[in-house]
Structures are given as C-alpha cells and as structure tokens.
Amino acid sequence: MLQAPQRTGLSGPTLIRLLTRLTDVDVPESRQSLSDHLSQWLGWTDAIALSAALNTSPPVIAPGARMFSSAEERECARVRTTLADAIASDTAATSAKRIVPGQAPAKKSAAVEQAEADYSNFRQRYLSLQHTMETSVGNLRSRLRGMVAAKNGEMTRLAVVDAIMDRALLPKERALFGAIPKLLQGHFERLRMAEAAALAPVDASVDAPAAEADATPPTDGAAKLDNGNGKAPAPATATPPVTPGAWLDVFRKDMRSVLLAELDVRLQPVEGLLAALRAS
C-alpha cells in the first residue's frame, strides 16, 4: 500500500506535525513565542479592549445564569463525539462523485474510481466539515463562557478576555484553517502520481509482445550457469503488487486524521473553560 512520505516533523500540536509530514514544503520551526504571534494578530482596537479587561475591575453579572453541572460535561463530550463521528463517516464515504439523495450508488471498480477521482469533491467536504465544527464548537464555547462569567470576580474577567480573544482571532483562525484543503490537494496529487508510477512497469509488461512469452526456455546446462563462484544465482526479490486505487484509501485516512487533529485544536478553548469551571 502506498504511504505518505516520512519527513521530520515540527514539535507542537498533532495538526502541525501531520501537515508537516503530509505536505511537500519544508517550513522552519518558528522561533517566535506565542505572545509575539498574538501581538501581530491583534489589531489596536483589540489590544485596547484586552488591556481594559485585564486592568479594570470585572463587570458584575446579574444572577440567574445557568450554573455548571455534569450535564455540561456530558454535552461537551457529546459534541466532540458527534463531530468525530461525522468526520469518520464523511471521509469514508467521500468518493469521486457525491451520491444524489434517492439515487442508488453504482458499484465501480477501483480503476474506474481512481480515474474519476476529483479533488474538488474532497475539498467541498472538508470545507463543509470545517463549517460544522466552527458552528458547533462556537456555540458550546459561548455557552460555557456565560457560565464562567456568572461566577463573578476573576472568573468574569476570564470570560471577558475569552470573548475578546474569540472575536479578535476568528478571522486569522479562519484563514489558517482555510489553507488546509489547499495543502491536502498537493498530497492528493502526489499519492495519485506515485501509484501511477508504481503501476507503469506492470502495464508495460502486460503490453509486451506475446512472442517473448513463447521464447525457447534455457537448456539444463544454461540454467546451471553461475557467475563463476559455483553457486546458482539467487532469485530476484519480488516487489509487493500495487492495488489499483489504494491511494484513495490512503488519502481518505490521512484527510480524516487531519480533520480530527483540527477538531482537537478547535476544542482547546472549550477545554480551558471547562477546566476553569471545574476548579471554581
């Protein structure tokens, strides 16, 4: 089976290491700290709002907000599981052409599926899953943020800071996540070309003249010829056959891994709010 090229990955989240391994671009590890990156991403209005939130007394939240309980823990687990299941089922079903609702799927050979594979379908599904993740995780984050704010005091300040950072970093987040499908397109094409190159010798041998197969076999004496060391030549090591269309399965698996890693990154603010609520 075809495998992605093994490359030295960067340290950091799984998403970064996966993309480093799957892409064909060597990117040096940044020497900037997280705070330096954030200072470049925040606009001056965001910086003023963040400074005010950190240096002034937090607002007092009126009582009546829903309190944190095990129900919220279960809801967070449910959202994660639902999104992970959607990623697994969608990437497994994504093929050359999407099935129209009500239309029976036609069985195709691996060779036909490989020939019809179009990355635009994978890109469309990736973007659709990204939108689903952004909406579901965003709603969950807002809900937990309201519960953090209801605690008043420093917890309210934390909720205000989270709201400011969420609003300020969302455009940058969308731009960075939006670049992932383009990176995966290169991986898609490299896997396709690698399998085509691996199958080329097989195709050439099939097209060879039939006369070669009818060539006169060597005599017993000729079969015993050696290289002068008195030993029969060692048989050539047979290379494992390449299954046509296997590269698509490899790509689907890699795309699923990247999406799950992206989900983990998107859920990090939620995990932070959950940790604050558990500690309060």
pLDDT tens digits, 2-14: 554 454 445 568 9
Domain count, the chain: 1
Neighbour count for residue 253 (Cβ, 10 Å): 13
The whole-number pLDDT of residue 217 equals 56
Is a pLDDT exceeding 60 seen at residue 218? no
Rounded-to-integer distance, Cα 9 and Cα 28, Å: 10
pLDDT in tens, 120-160: 999 999 999 999 999 999 999 999 999 998 888 889 999 99
Q: Is residue 227 part of a domain?
A: no
Average pLDDT, the chain: 78
Residue 87 within any structural domain of the chain:
yes
- Non-local CB neighbours of 266 within 8 Å, separated by 6+ positions: 133, 134, 137
Residue 196, in any domain of the structure: yes
Instruction: Decide if 147 is inside a domain.
Output: yes
Q: Is residue 51 part of a domain?
A: no
In a domain, 1, yes or no: no
Q: Reduced to 3 states, what is the DSSP secondary structure of residue 259?
A: helix
**Residue 277, in any domain of the structure:** yes
Task: With respect to residue 234, please indicate whether it lies within any of the assigned structural domains.
Answer: no
| Residue 156 CB neighbour total at 10 angstroms | 19
- Find all residues with CB under 8 Å of 37, minimum gap 6, and list them: 30
Q: Single out the residue of 243, 246, 244, 251 nearest to residue 92, CA to CA.
A: 251
Where in the sequence is the domain holding 77, given as residue range(s)? 70-97+120-203+243-280
**Would you say 77 and 85 are in contact if contact means Cβ atoms under 8 Å apart?**
no
